[in-house]
């Protein structure tokens, strides 16, 4: 349950402090949490902690005459930490002039004279009115992680995507919206951003994804040195492998660098996947599959990177970026693919600052009322364009070809053509990306006419090509000219013989790569069908071949 809003009272006289807190709890204790302090410094410290934890302070009630820091001085400093809280000064009759001046100096909402007895006449009516006014404008309390950072920072963008894809509740604050929490967390220097502030008040400045994952309770290191099978990559193929392996009694470890779902997990809607007649978001499908894997006993690692796979007797040793290592009887590589980098001048400079590869569904809300450009003509680009069109004022699809029908499913083409918020520019490429601290303009070239034009833009989403992340694998892993892993029949020569360095008497199994015991499933495999259903099917098929391999080695 979200924490109740706070009523903070400060008075250096312990008896008075207790009396104020007692009267506040009697009237408001069921709706508010009363916190008391006995000095301005202690009250500011409490307020910093409350603000850093994301708790809401509704009212500050401060005694004026306190040693070291007067009530007015406290309220003045407190404005930076909780600018929306109502401010009340408790004062003696002799100090009413100071209270009146404070109305202008610290935007004082009210002052009360001592004594306030009976509170039903002299205290509660005033506070009732102030709290009612505060409630009308107060934001609902947020019980999650707060991300502080500039929206055009690549590091901030990376953290946003990580949190969203791992379904960690968070809010992103910047500028005036985040000023109070930045002050409370002592993050006023921009060099300390991005930063994450957790509900318990823990602050991580410029954190790694692994540090955030650990703090969020996600496992990042293996719990055992040995497994029957390790699945590298948690897209549809990897999730399929993990579910089938664990359900058949294999001790299974699933390793993912960022979040479960892969590219499919970023899709706003998948409508041609069997069993979901109304479609399903990539995030929901990924979460369902992850929950299913965990239910079968799969151990899932997040923000963990495998850096090498080497033979180790009958097993295969997997090395991690943090220096740790595990061994498995068999390995399934399901690392998927990443989007091809845009070969336009300035594109790399503005990556994460207006140029984005792929697009998680949460990005759409940031595009409200703007013009959005999408590069690509396959289903992923079409789904993104349709989703962005619900928020953006206009979506422009840029395609090199002459017709999106050549590469996009018919049902998507029909919806795009029927959507007045989407324009499709064919024979068009982005040749340059321009701006200062973020994207401001795109230079477009028409391949048919050779003409160029410069258009204003703040966001460009790229869905072109596919790059297999296989550069970390050693030379023992055979690849095609594009870097995709070759398996089974692709490894054989014209006479049907395996390569000369193949160590076994049998030929490689269908999904087995050039290293025995290592199987490949999904988009990273050469000549694979780039569809979610086929990736899941290959993941299941890989487990069948893993069983065959394990039986062969005894």
Strand partners, 430: 444
User: What's the whole-model pTM score?
Assistant: 0.80
359 and 320 inside one domain: no
350 is a domain residue: no
Which CATH number goes with the domain that contains 155?
3.40.30.10
127 and 13 inside one domain: yes
480 and 548 inside one domain: yes
220 is a domain residue: no
Backbone angles phi, psi at 16, to 5 degrees: -65, -40
221 is a domain residue: no
Give the number of domains in the chain. 4
* Residue ending a domain, choose from 119, 137, 155: 137
pLDDT at 479: 97
237 and 253 inside one domain: yes
537 is a domain residue: yes
Q: Alpha-carbon distance 300 to 536, whole Å?
A: 18
* Residue ending a domain, choose from 187, 215, 243: 215
Domain with 50, as residue range(s), is 6-137
345 is a domain residue: no
Q: Alpha-carbon distance 23 to 28, whole Å?
A: 9
Q: How far apart are the first and last CA of the chain?
A: 53
Q: What is the pLDDT along the chain (554 residues), one digit of tens a residue?
A: 457 899 999 999 999 999 999 999 999 999 999 999 999 999 999 999 888 888 899 999 999 889 889 998 999 899 889 988 999 998 887 677 777 777 777 778 888 888 888 999 999 999 999 999 898 888 766 678 999 999 899 999 999 999 988 988 899 999 888 898 999 899 999 999 999 999 888 999 999 999 999 999 999 999 999 999 999 999 999 999 999 999 999 999 999 999 999 888 888 888 888 998 888 888 889 999 999 999 999 999 999 999 999 999 889 999 999 999 999 999 999 999 999 999 999 999 999 999 999 876 677 878 888 999 999 999 999 999 999 999 999 999 999 999 999 999 999 999 999 999 999 999 999 999 999 999 999 999 999 898 999 999 999 999 998 899 999 999 999 999 999 999 999 999 999 999 989 999 999 999 999 999 999 999 999 999 988 999 999 999 999 999 999 998 87
266 and 281 inside one domain: yes
24 and 126 inside one domain: yes
* Residue ending a domain, choose from 92, 114, 137: 137
Q: Could you write out the DSSP letters of every residue in 426-446?
A: -SEEEEEEEESSSEEEEEEEE
Q: Alpha-carbon distance 539 to 528, whole Å?
A: 12
pLDDT at 94: 66
Which CATH number goes with the domain that contains 117?
3.40.50.2300
pLDDT in tens, 375-389: 999 999 999 999 999
37 is a domain residue: yes
343 is a domain residue: no
Helix, strand, or coil (residue 195): strand
95 and 234 inside one domain: no
Token pair, residue 481, equals 């000219």
Which CATH number goes with the domain that contains 375?
3.50.50.60
């Amino acid at each position: 349950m979200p924490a109740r809003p706070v009523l903070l009272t400060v008075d250096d006289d312990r008896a008075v402090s207790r009396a104020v807190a007692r009267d506040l709890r009697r009237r408001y204790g069921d709706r508010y949490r009363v916190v008391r302090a006995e000095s301005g410094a202690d009250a500011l410290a409490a307020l910093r902690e409350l603000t850093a934890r994301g708790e809401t302070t509704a009212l500050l009630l401060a005694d004026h005459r306190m040693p070291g820091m007067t009530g007015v001085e406290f309220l003045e400093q407190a404005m930076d930490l909780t600018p929306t809280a109502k401010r009340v000064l408790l004062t003696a009759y002799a100090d009413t002039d100071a209270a009146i001046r404070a109305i202008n100096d610290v935007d004082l909402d009210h002052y009360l004279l001592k004594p306030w007895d009976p509170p039903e006449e002299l205290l509660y009516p005033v506070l009732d009115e102030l709290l009612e006014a505060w409630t009308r404008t107060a934001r609902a309390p947020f019980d999650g992680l707060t991300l502080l950072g500039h929206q055009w920072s690549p590091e901030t963008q990376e953290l946003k995507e990580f949190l969203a894809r791992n379904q960690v509740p968070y809010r992103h604050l910047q500028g005036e919206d985040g000023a109070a929490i930045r002050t409370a967390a002592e993050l006023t220097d921009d060099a300390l951003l991005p930063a994450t502030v957790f509900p318990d008040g823990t602050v991580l400045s410029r954190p790694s994804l692994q540090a955030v994952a650990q703090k969020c309770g996600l496992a990042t290191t293996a719990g055992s040195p040995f497994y029957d099978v390790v699945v590298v990559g948690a897209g549809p193929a990897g999730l399929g492998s993990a579910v089938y392996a664990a359900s058949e009694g294999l001790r299974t470890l699933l390793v993912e660098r960022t979040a479960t779902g892969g590219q499919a997990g970023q899709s706003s809607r998948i409508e041609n996947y069997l069993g979901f007649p109304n479609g399903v978001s990539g995030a929901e499908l990924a979460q369902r599959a992850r929950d299913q894997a965990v239910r079968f006993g799969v151990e899932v690692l997040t923000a963990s990177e495998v850096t090498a796979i080497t033979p180790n007797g009958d097993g295969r040793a997997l090395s991690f970026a943090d220096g740790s290592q595990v061994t498995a009887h068999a390995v399934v590589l399901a690392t998927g693919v990443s989007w091809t980098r845009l070969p336009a001048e300035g594109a790399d400079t503005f990556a994460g600052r207006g140029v984005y590869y792929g697009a998680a569904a949460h990005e759409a809300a940031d595009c409200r009322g703007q013009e959005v450009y999408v590069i690509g003509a396959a289903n992923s680009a079409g789904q993104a364009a349709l989703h962005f069109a619900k928020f953006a004022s206009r979506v422009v699809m840029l395609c090199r070809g002459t017709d999106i029908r050549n590469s996009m499913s018919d049902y998507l083409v029909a919806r795009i053509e029927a959507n007045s918020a989407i324009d499709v520019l064919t024979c068009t490429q982005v040749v340059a990306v321009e701006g200062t601290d973020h994207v401001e303009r795109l230079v477009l070239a028409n391949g048919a006419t050779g003409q160029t034009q410069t258009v204003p833009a703040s966001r460009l989403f790229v869905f072109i090509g596919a790059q297999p992340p296989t550069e970390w694998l050693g030379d023992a892993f055979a690849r095609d000219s594009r870097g995709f892993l070759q398996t089974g029949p692709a490894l054989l020569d014209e006479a049907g013989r395996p390569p000369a360095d193949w160590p076994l008497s049998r030929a490689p199994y269908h999904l087995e790569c050039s290293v025995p015991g290592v199987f490949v499933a999904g988009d990273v495999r050469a000549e694979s069908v780039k569809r979610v259903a086929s990736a899941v099917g290959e993941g299941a098929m890989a487990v069948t071949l893993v069983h065959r391999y394990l039986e062969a080695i005894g």
